[in-house]
């Protein structure tokens, strides 16, 4: 689908081509040509003073009657008997959305040998209802089976909103669900709300993090979003009651061309970083790559993961998977220690949810001190070795 040109009104002035962010409009001798790169952003329509451009009618799409869709759903991610924390976060956020819309909140739980305690846990985080599909074919995650089951449930029950974590599992299968249902998907959201018209406001960083874009899905259902872990606050509620339902799903949905032979636990630091309770991050103040050993030593001593600013990543001192911030990971550990990091807003948005922030910086004016609970104004090359010595001494390690 693309913008529509009325060739009788078009003067081939070229303004639309200049404003098109996708480069989808080409000027020809006889008129303009719009390619499949058109994203229907509408900028050309807004700028054309001759009224020669319009958006296609999308009101009656494959979703049919939009008012038939009701309720908020959260895909509850469950791995080896444990609910992923992002599902708690999404249920708490989903609860607020459902209350604003005056509808129910449901969790969808897929797996094998799921104990009812897991469903009760989801209810305690806000779900009114839990749909469980328990089948040996769902014991291990596969894109095909998981997406087919979710699509089947959505077609049957018609939720207006479907949320999932922007985890490796969510990022992998949720786009398939959206494509099968021919609806939109906003990936990697950092904020969600409901507009006055009752639409889901899906906010995420865009253009490399330079703007925050709020995206709507007005013509298709469900409105789908994946949400970054740790950006929403989980809230456990006491004394909640909910229903548990076991919908039957056609056998065909469980079929997958993928066979899981072995599951190998993730060794990548990235996973450690977002889950870590303690993080020690280094910045450009470390001056060179080998000095990252100082940060690693502190992290090792206090059982933490190693993070970094984009400054340090850009210097090539540490891989991008360690980057904390707007274009890196969002973290919220109990303790976050920033060593030689200035505290640019793009870094701070990724760590400001930490419970205690300790900053070490030689510049007393560094913005990191605005968010730090404990500020150490010192040269890190003096402070960190002294700090390490003190910990070792107190532990009787010499
Ligand atoms: C679109 C966009 C997205 C971005 N995304 C991210 C992101 O996800 N994460 C991120 O971190 N940044 C991001 N940035 C970059 C961000 O703006 C900063 O440039 C970056 O965070 C700076 O890294 P830094 O603090 O390590 O380096 P610097 O700004 O160079 O700061 C180094 C700090 O170290 C201190 N220092 C120097 N020597 C010592 C010493 N001996 N002892 C103690 N302190 C010392 C200095 O006083 C200074 O405060 C992004 C930028 C843009 C434009």
Q: Per-residue pLDDT tens for 142-170?
A: 999 999 999 999 999 999 999 999 988 99
**pLDDT of res. 263:** 84
Residue of 311, 336, 348 best suited for mutating to test ligand 1, as the one with most atoms within 8 Å of CB? 311
Q: What does the block give as tokens for 209?
A: 């993090």
- Give the residue, by CA position, lying nearest to ligand 1 atom 38: 285
Q: Which candidate, 186, 185, 183, places its Cα nearest to that of 205?
A: 186
Mean pLDDT, residues 9-38 taken together? 91
Q: pLDDT tier at 36 (50, 70, 90 boundaries)?
A: confident
Geometric angle at alpha carbon 103, from 99 and 105, rounded to 5°:
80
For residue 331 and ligand 1, the question of a CB distance below 6 A is answered with no
> Rounded to the nearest whole angstrom, what is the distance from the C-alpha of residue 311 to the centroid of ligand 1?
5
Mean pLDDT, residues 25-50 taken together? 90
Asked whether the whole model's pTM tops 0.85, one would answer no
Q: What does the block give as tokens for 333?
A: 């550990």
Give every CB contact of residue 272 below 8 A, 6+ residues apart in sequence: 305
Q: Which candidate, 378, 388, 382, 360, places its Cα nearest to that of 302?
A: 388
Query: Is residue 288 classed exposed, middle or buried when 0-12, 13-18 and 19+ CB atoms within 10 A define those classes?
Result: exposed
**What are the φ/ψ torsions at residue 193 (nearest 5 degrees)?**
-155, 180
For residue 309 and ligand 1, the question of a CB distance below 6 A is answered with yes
Q: Comparing 205-214, 223-232, 296-305, 383-392, which segment has the lowest mean pLDDT?
A: 205-214
For residue 282 and ligand 1, the question of a CB distance below 6 A is answered with no
| 3-class SS of residue 311 | helix
Q: How many CA atoms lie within 13 A of 56 on its CB side?
A: 11
**pLDDT of res. 231:** 86
pLDDT over 60 (residue 271): no
For residue 59 and ligand 1, the question of a CB distance below 6 A is answered with no
Mean pLDDT, residues 261-268 taken together? 74
Q: Among residues of the chain, what percentage have pLDDT more than 70?
A: 95
**pLDDT of res. 376:** 98
**pLDDT of res. 332:** 85
Domains and CATH numbers, the chain: 4-54 (3.30.70.20), 66-254 (3.40.50.620), 269-394 (3.40.50.1220)
**pLDDT of res. 396:** 86
> Rounded to the nearest whole angstrom, what is the distance from the C-alpha of residue 188 to the centroid of ligand 1?
23
Mean pLDDT, residues 106-119 taken together? 94
**pLDDT of res. 56:** 80
Q: pLDDT tier at 272 (50, 70, 90 boundaries)?
A: confident
Q: pLDDT tier at 270 (50, 70, 90 boundaries)?
A: low
Tell me the CA distances in angstroms from 98 to 150, 182, 185, 312, one per residue in order.
20, 23, 19, 42
**pLDDT of res. 239:** 86
Query: Which of 239 and 126 is assigned the larger pLDDT?
Result: 126
> Rounded to the nearest whole angstrom, what is the distance from the C-alpha of residue 347 to the centroid of ligand 1?
7
- Give the residue, by CA position, lying nearest to ligand 1 atom 2: 209
Task: List, for residues 209-223, the tens digit of each pLDDT value.
Answer: 678 899 999 989 999
Q: How many CA atoms lie within 13 A of 208 on its CB side?
A: 1
**pLDDT of res. 149:** 97
Mean pLDDT, residues 196-210 taken together? 85
Q: Which helix (H) or strand (E) holds 388?
A: helix 380-394
Across all residues in the chain, what is the average pLDDT? Answer: 92
Geometric angle at alpha carbon 361, from 357 and 364, rounded to 5°:
100
Q: pLDDT tier at 199 (50, 70, 90 boundaries)?
A: very high
pLDDT over 80 (residue 60): no
Rounded CA gap, 336 and 277, in Å? 9
Q: pLDDT tier at 330 (50, 70, 90 boundaries)?
A: confident
> Rounded to the nearest whole angstrom, what is the distance from the C-alpha of residue 282 to the centroid of ligand 1?
9
- Give the residue, by CA position, lying nearest to ligand 1 atom 50: 346
Q: Comparing 189-193, 266-270, 286-290, 329-333, which segment has the lowest mean pLDDT?
A: 266-270
């Amino acid at each position: 689908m693309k913008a529509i040109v009325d060739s009788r009104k078009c003067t081939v002035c070229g303004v639309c081509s200049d404003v098109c962010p996708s480069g989808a409009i080409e000027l020809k001798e006889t008129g303009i040509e719009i390619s499949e790169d058109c994203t229907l952003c509408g900028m050309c329509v807004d700028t054309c003073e001759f009224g020669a451009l319009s958006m296609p009618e999308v009101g009656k799409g494959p979703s049919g009657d939009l008012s038939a869709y009701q309720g908020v759903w959260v895909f509850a991610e469950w791995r080896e008997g444990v609910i992923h924390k992002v599902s708690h976060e999404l249920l708490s956020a989903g609860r607020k959305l459902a209350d604003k819309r005056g509808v129910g909140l449901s969790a969808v739980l897929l797996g094998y040998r799921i104990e009812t305690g897991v469903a009760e846990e989801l209810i305690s985080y806000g779900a009114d209802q839990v749909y469980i599909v328990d089948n040996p074919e769902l014991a291990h995650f596969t894109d095909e089976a998981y997406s087919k089951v979710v699509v089947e449930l959505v077609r049957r029950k018609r939720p207006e909103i479907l949320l999932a974590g922007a985890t490796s599992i969510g990022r992998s299968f949720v786009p398939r669900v959206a494509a099968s249902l021919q609806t939109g998907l906003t990936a990697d959201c950092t904020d969600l709300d409901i507009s006055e018209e009752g639409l889901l406001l899906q906010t995420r960083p865009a253009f490399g993090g330079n703007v925050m874009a709020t995206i709507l899905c007005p013509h298709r259902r469900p409105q789908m979003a994946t949400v970054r872990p740790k950006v929403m606050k989980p809230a456990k509620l006491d004394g909640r009651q909910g229903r548990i339902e076991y919908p039957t799903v056609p056998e065909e949905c469980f079929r997958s061309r993928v066979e899981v032979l072995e599951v190998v636990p993730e060794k990548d630091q990235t996973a450690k970083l977002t889950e870590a309770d303690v993080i020690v991050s280094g910045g450009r103040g470390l001056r060179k790559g080998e000095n990252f050993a100082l940060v690693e030593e502190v992290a090792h001593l206090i059982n933490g993961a190693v993070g970094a600013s984009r400054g340090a990543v850009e210097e090539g001192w540490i891989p991008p998977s360690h980057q904390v911030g707007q274009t890196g990971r969002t973290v919220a550990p109990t303790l976050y220690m920033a060593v030689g990091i200035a505290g640019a807003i793009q870094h701070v948005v990724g760590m400001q949810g930490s419970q205690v922030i300790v900053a070490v910086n030689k510049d007393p004016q560094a913005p990191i001190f605005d968010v730090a609970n404990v500020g150490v104004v010192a040269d890190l090359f003096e402070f960190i070795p002294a700090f390490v010595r003190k910990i070792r001494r107190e532990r009787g390690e010499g």
